[in-house]
Amino acid sequence: MSYALPRRAVLVAATLVAAAAPPRAARAQETSRGAYLAIAGDCVVCHTVSEGAPFAGGLKMATPLGAIYSPNITPDADTGIGGWSYEDFDGALRKGVSKDGRRLYPAMPYPSYAQITDEDSRALFEYFSKEAKPVHQLNTRNEIAPPWNARWPLAVWNLVGAGSPFRANAAFDEEWNRGAYLVQGLGHCGACHTPRGALFQEKAMTAEDGAFLAGANLDNWSSPNLRGDLNTGLGRWTTAETVEFLKTGHNIHGAAFGAMRDVVAYSTGNMNDADLAAMAKYLSSLPPSIDRKQPLWVEDSRDAAALAAGKSDRPGAATYLRQCASCHGADGKGGGGLPPLAGNAAVLDPDATSIVNIALNGAPALEVAEGEYGDAMPQFRTFLDDRAMADVATFIRSTWGNRAGPVLPGDVAALRKATVAGEDHAIIRQMR
């Protein structure tokens, strides 16, 4: 093969992490309630830069109006939120209003956090005002130019975009409601997985609305449908398989990559099994939203046979055999820790952004709390031009029984320009 696999480096890194990470049970004991909630809310992922001190802020986040930088939320009195009262903190967390009355951009997921209970908001305050390590680090000024930097339009935006408190659904049991609370609220899964409306607000915030978690595109990643859709959602996943994915980033259906990698590495991968089971139970109850009428994916083994015999002359087939089949198999089934492409919901997603992004830029192996790791997916940006990439992406979307739309060279070109190979935000080793 023409590329060098960083496999050795990956193994070494995984071993170091495994050695540094105390066993899960030991960690659970020293984790306070607030610290655990901060994990469930994934506060670290936005409020920390790669290799930076946890929660000290400074992460650059693109918005349609310009870049903004996440603030320092450590207890440091000068540069963090050390002097804040509970009311100040809670206003930022659940209503999106900072201590000085400034409206926060919804890059801070307060519309979802609005569902956090008073009790949990207080526990988070305890953690961020007393337990977290104070770090002296000045905030970076946002780069939104006047007049767009005025904050008052956000008050208007809140008329459509703000969330509301969690309401339990009596039709379901306690475990389901725990899952709903975590997914809709702290986990802010909808921030990436729910389609956005005209004002960039999430179209739905709760299970009761069919648009909730129906799939969306954000920051050059498409987040698939998490509803009961059989081909493009979680309709074929058991709850145990969903738990496994959230805990380890892998299961027989696929692997976590792109924006989902950070979610597993810093949030769900460190949550307890009871909470993950509750989230899986809740997700499994969401009715399908888009492919209700599509026939269930079934494997078509003729394609694998033709490929293995070198008899497929469809565009993309030769590239697939040369560049991809050694890991994903002529039958598209992956195996040995490598994800399948046949029947994979991300591959079948009507929006091909995520699979083109990973094929262009690759994905480092995923490290999770217990030191488990997968393999790395190499980048093909420097080996395949837009046409070859479009052909191979179209090929995997229309082989082995997969029936998803074509990818065009122009789609690849746009994504190639908008992304960088191997860009991997936040390897926050201090957290482990």
Q: Which of residues 230-269 bind ligand HEC (CB under 6 A)?
A: 234, 242, 245-246, 254-260, 263, 268
User: How close are the terminal C-alpha atoms of the chain, in Å?
Assistant: 35
Our finding on whether 204 is near ligand HEC (CB under 6 A) is: no
Among 94, 178, 247, 328, binds ligand HEC (CB under 6 A): 328
Subset of 292-311 contacting ligand HEC (CB under 6 A): none
Contacts (CB under 6 A) with ligand HEC, residues 359-378? 359, 363, 366, 374-378
| The pair of three-digit structure tokens given for residue 242, joined into one six-digit string | 């969903």
**Whole-angstrom Cα distance, residue 229 to residue 226?**
8
Q: Which residues does 16 contact at the CB level (< 8 Å), separation at least 6?
A: none
Structure tokens at 397: 């979307």
Q: Which of 180, 243, 345, 368 binds ligand HEC (CB under 6 A)?
A: 345
Contact criterion met (CB below 8 Å) for 169 and 207:
yes
Q: Least distance in Å: CB of 174 to ligand HEC?
A: 19
Could you say whether residue 379 binds ligand HEC (CB under 6 A)? no
Residue 342 identity: A
Answer yes or no whether residue 112 interacts with ligand HEC by CB under 6 A: no
- Identity (one letter) of the amino acid at 402? N
Cβ nearer to ligand HEC, comparing 178 with 328? 328
Whether residue 315 contacts residue 395, with contact meaning beta carbons closer than 8 Å, is answered with yes
Q: How far apart are CA 268 and CA 368, in angstroms?
A: 10
Residue type, 250: H
The answer to the question of residue 191 lying near ligand HEC (CB under 6 A) is yes
Q: What is the nearest approach in angstroms of ligand HEC to the Cβ of residue 18?
A: 17
Closest to ligand HEC by CB, 14 vs 255, is 255
Evaluate the CA torsion angle 47, 50, 53, 56 in order and state its sign.
Answer: negative
Region near ligand HEC per CB under 6 A, out of 161-169, 203-211, 222-230, 407-415: 222-230
Can residue 291 be called a binding residue for ligand HEC (CB under 6 A)? no
Give the CA dihedral 161, 195, 39, 163, nearest 10 degrees.
20
Nearer to ligand HEC, 301 or 326 (CB): 326
* Cβ-based nearer residue to ligand HEC, 26 or 110: 110
Count of residues engaged in binding ligand HEC, rule: CB under 6 A: 77
Among 70, 184, 220, 361, binds ligand HEC (CB under 6 A): 70
Applying CB under 6 A, the span of 20-28, 97-105, 294-302, 406-414 interacting with ligand HEC comes to: 97-105
Neighbour tally for 247: CB within 10 Å: 21
Separation between Cα atoms, residue 339 and residue 336, nearest integer Å: 8
